[in-house]
Amino acid sequence: MSPGYDWGMAVHRSPRSAFPLRFENERTRELLRVIAERQHLSMNQLAEEMIERELQVMALGLESSLSRTIELLRSYRGQGRAEAWAEFADAEALPEPIAARRARPEEDPFGVARAFEVGA
């Protein structure tokens, strides 16, 4: 959070930083102008206050989502780890699903060895 700002409205304006705002929808800009006039505010002040409110709402939503994620992670730790390792060990003791065999050098049904022969 920037110095001079609180989660409420801007309480102290520190040196300004510029942020050019381009509207994709001209109607949005026009509504901002009309509402700013009726509220006796500059368009910049109205836009900043509205953005601050929206960011607060989104920050609360993000905080809530992260809190839920942390709780899920906390509940996950340690549960089922011993069982998972036991299942892994049991599976490792099972016979291999594919039996391996040593290939004889003279067998090359797919021509792999020929592809790597020098001077071929």
Instruction: Give this prediction's pTM.
Output: 0.48
Q: Using CA of residue 85, residue 87, residue 90, residue 94, what is the dihedral sign?
A: negative
Q: How many residues in total does the chain contain?
A: 120
* Euclidean distance between the first and the last CA atom of the chain, given in angstroms as a whole number: 69
Percent of the chain clearing pLDDT 70 (strictly above): 82
For residue 102, what pLDDT is reported?
Answer: 76
> Looking at 11-15, 18-22, 51-55, 58-62, which range is the least confident one?
11-15
For residue 83, what pLDDT is reported?
Answer: 86
pLDDT at residue 17 tops 90: no
* Structure confidence at residue 6 as a pLDDT band (50, 70, 90): low
Residue 4 is encoded by which pair of tokens?
Answer: 């001079």
Domain segments of the chain: what residues?
26-94
Q: Mapped to the 3 state alphabet, what secondary structure does 83-115 carry? A: HHHHHHHHHHHCCCCCCCCCCCCCCCCCCHHHH
